Amino acid sequence: MINYLELSKEVEKALKLGKPVVALESTIISHGMPYPENVETALNVERIVRENGATPATIAIINGKLKAGLTPDEIEYLGQKGREIVKVSRRDIPFIVAKKMDGATTVASTMIIAALAGIRVFATGGIGGVHREAQETFDISADLQELANTNVAVVCAGAKSILDLGLTLEYLETFGVPVVGYKTDELPAFYTRRSGFKLDYRLDTPEEIAKAIFVKWQLGLKGGVVVANPIPEEYEMDYDVINKAIEDALLEAKEKGIKGKETTPFLLAKVKEITGGKSLDSNIQLVYNNAKLASEIAVELSRMG
């Protein structure tokens, strides 16, 4: 593994000492936001992780190396290159590494690299899931299978509201992935705090969440945990406005024949356009909120061993 995985000195030191580390993805930098907001957001997220007692490990593939912990210059590079950087999920990793290419990691591939490095907590915006009309298209994000198999806790603002949230929860339940609401009884829907879908578990402190995660893995129960952390009230979008924007974006995607891994970036960009940029502001704030909670959970988890 030493030939493929490269830890920054800061991340390596923290892991050796058993200090809390939080993994961060890079697709949000290259594909999720425009430049320069993407770089600014990524650096702010790292600052928030540090302020809350943990070490940030932004994850990407640079020149064929699986990297946990990027320099500011590497983050700037990913941000400026944007969509020229390949979006990498599980299936893509060996090809990008073998060809010594650069890759921006999705939730699934970030989980894989985090687990290889020994990082147990990961903060992102929203997880992928079962797409609407999946009964016809079979379009289901690889994030869900990764959550079933990889021991990393993922702190997110629920699943992206462009998805079929009910089917996403059903899929996670089938594969034994717990979805825990942080101070909420229902699944948050990325831009909004509510979705109408009730969760089985609600926990109100980072310590309680860390304890449940610790016990799960101590029992040998393989797989991740979804920690669903609602967007702060002051930044959430109007439920009806965002759903109308999503419906319009989905219709346009269908008309244009956009499918597969191009779907999510197209829909998010379209929703941003329809909402006059408000969805981007919400997206940034929910990522900051998740980084804070992930750091607090990582701190508690590191105390447990």
Cα 117 → chain centroid: 17
The residues assigned a catalytic role are 25, 160
What's the CA dihedral at 169, 114, 76, 267 to 10 degrees?
-20
Q: Output the pLDDT for position 91.
A: 96
Which pLDDT belongs to residue 279? 80
| Structure confidence at residue 263 (pLDDT) | 74
pLDDT for residue 201: 97
Tokens of 193: 């705090």
Q: What is the pLDDT of residues 251-299, one digit of tens each?
A: 888 899 887 767 777 877 877 887 887 888 899 999 999 999 999 999 9
CATH superfamily, domain 5-303, is Indigoidine synthase domain (3.40.1790.10)
All residue ranges of the chain with pLDDT < 70 are 1, 261
**Residue numbers belonging to the annotated binding site for Mn(2+):** 139
Average predicted confidence (pLDDT) for the chain: 93
Q: What is the pLDDT of residue 1?
A: 65
Binding residues are 87, 107, 139, 141-143
Give pLDDT, residue 261: 66
CA torsion angle 210 60 164 212 (round to 10)? -10
Annotated binding site for substrate: 87, 107, 141-143
Look at residue 114 in the predicted model and tell me its pLDDT: 98
- Its pTM stands at 0.93
Cα–Cα dist 200/170, whole Å: 12
- Domain coordinates in residue numbering, the chain: 5-303
Strands 153-156 and 86-88, by their bridges, are unpaired
CB-CB neighbours of 55 under 10 Å:
23
